[in-house]
Amino acid sequence: MKQTILALDLSTARGSIAVLRGDDVLFEASFQSERSHNAQVFAPLRDALVAAGDDLAGVVIGNGPGSYTGVRIAIAAAQGVALSHGVWCVGWSSLTAPDIDAPATYSVIGDARRQCFYLARIENGRLLPDVEIVPPEVARERVGNDHWLTFDARAPLELGRVRMARPSAKRLGENLQGLSAVEVSQLAGQPLIPHYLAEAFITMPKQR
C-alpha cells in the first residue's frame, strides 16, 4: 500500500508526527510534553496536514501501550482528521515503531504498574498477541542479552542490557504501508481504543 498517510504517536512524553507518501517522508516532527499533548499537538498537526495536501488517504495512530491520556488525544485527533477529510483511520501498536535501528524480530519489556511488567514480541512490524504480564522476578529471568527494547523513560528493573527507544511516527507509517489494502480496510472497521495491559483498577468506597 503506497498512499499518503498521516502517522501520529502520543503514547509517551515525546509526541511524534509524520506524513509519508510511498517511500517519501513529506513531513516529520516531534515534541516533548509530559502532560500537555493536547496543547502541543495542534501546530505540528496543522503543518502535517498542509504537507499532505489533498492526497491524504488515511491516518494511523500508535495505540500504546503507554500514556492513556496521550493515546486518547491521538484517537480524538485522528477521528477528527478522518471525518473532516473523508479518509480511514486505524490504530497500530506503538511497540512496533522504535526510533532506533532494531532487527525485524525483537522483544519489549515495560512497566505494567502494580509491581508487574509486560513482555511483548515484535515480528516484522507486528505485535504478537501473547503479551505477558509478569512479576519482577520473572521479568529478570526472562529478559535475555539480545534484542530487548523498552519504551519506558528508564530501563525497567535497572536492566542495563535493555535498549531504550521511543515510538516513531515515521516508522509507524512505514509499518502501515507494508499492509495490504484488505487488511487496512479491516483495521479501519475496528474501533480505535488504547492498548490496555490490564483491566482498569477501580477503587471502591469504604463501607460505613
Q: Give the whole-angstrom CA distance, residue 74 versus residue 40.
A: 12
Q: What is the pLDDT of residues 15-46, one digit of tens each?
A: 999 999 999 999 999 998 766 566 788 899 99
Tell me the pTM.
Answer: 0.90
Q: Give CA–CA dist 143/19, Å, rounded.
A: 35
- 108 plus 140 within the same structural domain: yes
Domain count for the chain, please give it: 2
**Chain mean pLDDT for the chain:** 91
- Shared domain check, 74 and 131: no
In this predicted model, what pLDDT tens digit does every residue of 128-179 receive, in sequence order? 999 999 999 999 999 987 799 999 999 999 998 899 999 999 999 999 999 9
Residues 89 and 115 in one domain: no
Q: Same domain, yes or no, for 38 and 50?
A: yes
Q: Which residue has cell 510534553?
A: 33
* Helical ranges in the chain per DSSP H: 37-40, 42-52, 68-85, 136-142, 169-177, 181-188
- Distance from C-alpha of 15 to C-alpha of 11, rounded to nearest angstrom: 7
